Amino acid sequence: MAAMPLATADLCDANLHPMIKGELRALHPIFQIYGRRCVFAGPVATVKVFEDNVLVRELIKEEGHGRVLVVDGGGSMRCAILGGILAQTAQRNGWAGIVVNGCIRDVDDINGCDIGVRALNSHPVKPGKKGAGEKHVAVTIAGTRICDGEWLYADADGILVSKNELAM
């Protein structure tokens, strides 16, 4: 499990060379903050889906071991791909956080979970259940390419992705 997450602004200041080289990237500031854990960090697990959350559910049911699930939902605003039950499952299974390039629902339930969640917005419509998509693939969200196994750091200032675990 990762050490206590560091402030993203401090990480940027202390890691200028990796930022210049593209080894440390900041996501565009498009995400809303949900969940009780405003600050979180961990190794990334990726999933790419569109208006379907079967693969998201499969990953969340695994032991999280302090990882952060990055869900590329294609930026869809037509349905939610994460709800309260999945957020509670993620909390129970030891996930540090979930970043959704799409919408969530059951906001009050998610806000009661001790997990960090970032999403574009909320939407009451549930997703499809066909199982389409890909797990553990590189995704591009918020202007940033994110690969399985990289590190993600999130706080109130924003979200950073690094090729390696960062230290001050």
**Residue-range domain boundaries for the chain:** 8-162
Please identify, in words, the CATH class of the domain defined by 8-162. alpha beta
Q: Which residues of 2-30 are buried (b: 16+ CB within 10 A; e: fewer)?
A: beebbebeebbeebeebbeeeebbbbeeb
Binding site, annotated residues for Mg(2+)? 106
- pLDDT of 62-104, one tens digit each? 999 999 999 999 999 999 999 999 999 999 999 999 999 999 9
Render 135-150 in DSSP notation, one character per residue. ES--EEETTEEE-TT-
Q: What is the pLDDT of residue 167?
A: 78
Query: Please, which pLDDT band fits residue 2 given cuts at 50, 70 and 90?
Result: very low
Residue among 28, 75, 41 at smallest CA distance from 151: 41
135-163 tens-digit pLDDT = 999 999 999 999 999 999 999 999 999 99
The residue whose two tokens read 């129970």 is 92
Binding region: 83-86, 105-106
Binding site as annotated, residues for substrate:
83-86, 105
Asked if 102 and 56 touch (Cβ cutoff 8 Å), the reply is no
- pLDDT value for 6: 77
